[in-house]
Amino acid sequence: MNAVKAPFYREPATDPLSLAFDAARRAAAEGEVPVGAVVVRDGMVLSVAHNRPRALRDPTAHAEILAIRAACAAIGDERLVGCDLYVTLEPCPMCAGAISFARIRRVYFAALDPKGGGVEHGPRVFNQPTCHHAPDVYGGLREAEAALLLRDFFRDRREA
């Protein structure tokens, strides 16, 4: 699995959003869009992942998808009932669909994504009548920090 589990797996989740930011910084260092995600259940971290579509040559290798896959493998179930997802950017429609199918309880995200978001922007996946499960959503946490990380990444790419 491409999500980072050790040394985080089964460690107390004292600040999961900080772990997500650490993962986002790893993504940037690898030339990937700096997005990180963490899945937590009962106060324990199940998975930590960052964007890897370029490295894996997989357009679905978003941080949220990789974190969900690793958490499902960790608990041996396709549903993440009672789990919370922390992510540094508003999930896109694809990731929002996966979050719904996984039955994640709560989603906490940092920066809003007016162009590509699927939760507060775009199709607003969780507000659709066809959505089978809508988690509680809390957005805008440490938004300025996440926006700066993204802005710096794309500025550096343009200058290179």
Task: Show binding-site residues for Zn(2+).
Answer: 62, 92, 95
Collapsing DSSP to helix, strand or coil, 134 comes out as coil
Encoded tokens for 27: 């993504």
Do the strands 44-50 and 36-41 form a parallel or antiparallel pair, or are they unpaired? antiparallel
Catalytic status, residue 145 = no
Q: What are phi and psi of 12, to 5 degrees?
A: -60, 140
3-state DSSP call for residue 56? Answer: helix
Question: Which residues are annotated as part of the binding site?
Answer: 62, 92, 95
Residue tagged 């650490």 (tokens) = 22
Exposed, middle or buried by CB within 10 Å (0-12, 13-18, 19+), for 25? middle
Closest to 86 (Cα-Cα) out of 62, 67, 103: 67
DSSP label at 136?
E
Query: Of these residues, 11, 30, 32, 64, which one is catalytic?
Result: 64
> Could you tell me the strand order of the sheet in which 106-111 lies?
44-50, 36-41, 83-89, 106-111, 136-138
Which residues participate in catalysis according to the annotation?
A: 64
